[in-house]
Structure 1
Amino acid sequence: MFKKSFILIFISFLFTACSFKMPEFLSFSSIDYLELQKEADICRDLDTEKEKLECYKKIESTNSFAQIRLGTYYSTKKEYKESLKYLNMAKQSDNLYANLPLALLYYTGEGVRKDINKSFELLKEASDIDPIAAFQLSRFYLQGINTRIDYDRGIKLLLFAGTSGVLQAQDLLSNIYKEGLYGAPKDQVKYEFWLKKAKDNKEDKNSKIYIF
Structure 2
Amino acid sequence: MARRAVLEFWYELASTYSYLSAMRIEELAGAAGVEVRWRPFLLGPIFAAQGWNSSPFNLFPVKGRYMWRDMEREGARFGLPVKRPDPFPQNSLVATRVALLGAEHPWGPTFTKAVYAQEFGEGRSIAEPAAVAGILKGLGLDGDAILKTASAEPNKTRLKAVTEEARSRGLFGAPTFLTDDGEMFWGNDRLELAIAWASGERPGR
TM-score (norm 2): 0.30
Structure with greater contact order relative to length (CA < 8 Å, sep ≥ 6): 2
Higher strand share: 2
TM-score (norm 1): 0.29
